[in-house]
Chain A
Amino acid sequence: MTDTTYSATEMMTIAAARALKNDDVCFVGIGAPSVACNLARLTHAPQITLIYESGTLGTRPDVLPLSIGDPELCHTALCTVSVPEMFAYWLQGGRISVGFLGGAQIDRWANINSTVIGDYMRPKVRLPGAGGAPEIASACGQIFVIMRQGRRSFVPKVDFITSFGHGEGGDHRQRLGIGTRGPTLVATDLCVMRPDALTKELTVTSLHPGISGDQVVEATGWPIRFAEGVEETPPPTPTELDVLRDLQARTARAHGTATEHDAGG
């Protein structure tokens, strides 16, 4: 019998997973994005193509990889290509429909920072850096973001734009010659946001069950706007919870760790 009480992180992962479609070709970031993408594959999107930047195309891992290049990814992939080929032919070549990213900071225009907190030359916190993200953000058809929400991470303006979202809003992407849609969805532990059609400002479109608008306002570093007719996110189904928990239990056993579902990277 499934325990249908669920954590905020589970709700976030499930809300993110639901955005993926069976015919998507998805470039997967490690950590929270990887959990959501594999949950989608193991539930409603069994034919989804998952791609990791280590060169694994069409991979179907039984347990979540800890790193972007775990052997599991290679052994369960349709094929494995070199990293230069991955980025040049598959990503830059425009063959990927969705990029799934996390980050340390995001702003009201969905620009993402994974480089530094504070000044670049004298950083308060030196974060891992760009990895594949800047070109994932510009070359994939659209971008989904998954991040836990709070005032330190949802800021009015990011300290550093690692990956360009909607810049300063409006048609900023087009003005830079970027033809792709950029961030179209941000799933957090409180809500789902989408950019406004015209201004591109992130706007709450659905609140997770039991979460109030005030809670979202409190956890956002700018005066967050709500779409007209904000919906309630459908709660996790027993199947979604079962599959997610099985996946994470298998993964923890395989890595010899107690839990490891929320590491960044």
Chain B
Amino acid sequence: MPAFLSLSQAIEENVPDGASVALEGFTHLIPFAAGHEIIRQRKRGLTLIRMTPDLIYDQMIGMGCARKLIFSWGGNPGVGSLHRLRDAVERGWPEPLELEEHSHAAMAAAWAAGAAGLPCAILRGYLGSDLVGRNPNIRTITCPFTAERLAAVPALRPDVGIVHAQRADTAGNVLVEGIIGVQKEVVLASKRAIVTVEQIVDDLHVPGPNAVVLPSWSISAVVEEPHGAYPSYADGYYGRDNAFYTAWDGIARDRDTFLSWMREHVLDAVLA
């Protein structure tokens, strides 16, 4: 049974400085509230893992939480650049950021391998791509049965995985609906898993036998955090705030504008 904690407790007890941390959610169910709490607690030297860094890692990188980023697509979807990520990579502000860069196919496979307890993932990938020479963690393996050369990447096994979901029941079982991304794999691959949810309910009302349910005993901590995925979305609760994603481009472009936005909306924000 997971611990039912406040968000600040969950972060304090599970995310030490220097940890490898994954806040996942493929466009959907991105744990923004948890990321903001990590920023408020001034965590430092984190290795951040996420397929699509999105606004939440732009914010965490810009606030100096990260030392390294493992990722596969670092843009503001449909809008353009992540300016804080770019500033860190191009100009080392607020500090240099080491990159370990993959493709989605490889990172998805690495999550699945992590969940399966395997040391590495294999895929028919990176054929002809220059990423191979740039990321020493992309290697090749020969199939012992067919002799086909395949790509291999290390499994992802972060210290802490954090995802958002719609509901947990009072026993700590979690229901995930809609675009499920790698939510299940992250929870299973991480040494400790925190799930923030919109709601804790007596009965999950699991819609069918093939629904995505994370059993209570696979989770370390559950946090009730309504709107915890905003400005991404929680299907069935609220939609994606596309206008904010578009507006972020202007906020994040300039260091001072960014910092004052973060001060007003994150650092000085009083938790409900």
State yes or no: do A and B come from one complex.
Answer: yes
Tally of contacts, chain A with chain B, CB under 8 A: 200
A170, CB-defined interface residue at 8 Å:
no
Residue of B nearest to A264 (CB): B80
- Docked-complex contact B103 and A133, CB < 8 angstroms: yes
The CA of A256 and the CA of B128, in the complex, are separated in Å by 40
Question: Which A residues lie within 8 Å of B80 (CB)?
Answer: 263-265
The CA of A18 and the CA of B237, in the complex, are separated in Å by 38
| Size class of the contact patch on chain B | 35 or more
Question: Which B residues lie within 8 Å of A257 (CB)?
Answer: 242-243, 246
Question: Which A residues lie within 8 Å of B270 (CB)?
Answer: none
- Docked-complex contact A135 and B125, CB < 8 angstroms: yes
The CA of A161 and the CA of B126, in the complex, are separated in Å by 10
Among A85-93, A201-209, A220-228, A237-245, the stretch that binds chain B is A85-93
The CA of A125 and the CA of B102, in the complex, are separated in Å by 18
- Docked-complex contact A134 and B127, CB < 8 angstroms: yes
* CB contact between B128 and one of A128, A129, A131, A161 (< 8 Å): that residue: A161
Question: Which B residues lie within 8 Å of A128 (CB)?
Answer: 73-75, 81-82
The CA of A88 and the CA of B27, in the complex, are separated in Å by 19
CB of A136, distance to nearest CB on chain B (Å): 9
- Docked-complex contact A256 and B242, CB < 8 angstroms: yes
Tell me the B residues contacting A by CB distance below 8 Å: 26-28, 51-52, 71-75, 77-82, 85-86, 89-90, 101-105, 108-109, 111-112, 123-131, 134, 148-149, 178-182, 184-185, 233, 235, 239-240, 242-243, 245-246
Known: A128-B81, A129-B72, A135-B104. 6 other contacts (CB 8 A): A83-B104, A131-B72, A134-B103, A134-B126, A256-B242, A265-B75
Tell me the A residues contacting B by CB distance below 8 Å: 30-31, 53-56, 65-71, 73-74, 80, 82-84, 86-88, 91-92, 111, 115, 120, 123-135, 138-139, 160-164, 167, 172-173, 176-178, 254-257, 260, 263-265
Q: Can you list 23 contacts pairing A with B, beta carbon distance less than 8 Å?
A: A54-B179, A66-B246, A69-B179, A71-B179, A71-B233, A73-B179, A80-B179, A83-B51, A83-B108, A84-B108, A84-B112, A87-B105, A92-B105, A92-B123, A124-B90, A126-B81, A126-B90, A128-B82, A129-B75, A138-B127, A172-B128, A265-B78, A265-B80
